[in-house]
Amino acid sequence: MEVAGDPGLTGGVDILQVGVLEIRLSEGLAIAGGRALRLSVREFGLLAELARHEGRIVRREDLYQRVWETPLRHGDRTIDVYVRKLRVKLEQSLPEWRFIHTHVGFGYRFAPERSHDFHTDATTR
């Protein structure tokens, strides 16, 4: 199996390990806690792009430009929709972890953090 149409892996890195999440770039495969995630092409691209910048805030414009390879149009909510899809699938596999964090006005940040609202009382807000 060759990775014909896919140059430009992150400087020779093929596997990203983010906590219990493993992302095999050349395969297009994401493994969460030992189980393979069922992701579409767009979903995987976005996940990989986020994971490449683990711990850093990435702007919507940059995410879209790199994954869709065309500029994000003003008012386009595509990124938000795909972030939602990723969150759902990640939570299905790893309910006690949060990966995609919103920074209002800036963008999204990818980092594994324990779910907060798991055994906290409702007053903690």
> For binding to a second copy (CB under 8 A), which residues are involved?
24, 27-29, 36, 38-41, 44, 55-57, 101, 103-107, 109, 111
**CA dihedral of 118, 89, 106, 45, whole degrees rounded to 10:** 150
Q: Which of residues 73-92 bind DNA (CB under 7 A)?
A: 76-78, 80-84, 87
**61, 48, 60: which is closest to 6 by C-alpha?**
48
Residues 23-52 that bind DNA (CB under 7 A): 38-43
8-state DSSP, 108: E
Residue 80, binding choice from a second copy, DNA, none, Cβ under 5 to 8 Å by partner class: DNA
Residue at token pair 């963008």: 107
Q: How far is the CB of 48 from a second copy (least distance, A)?
A: 13
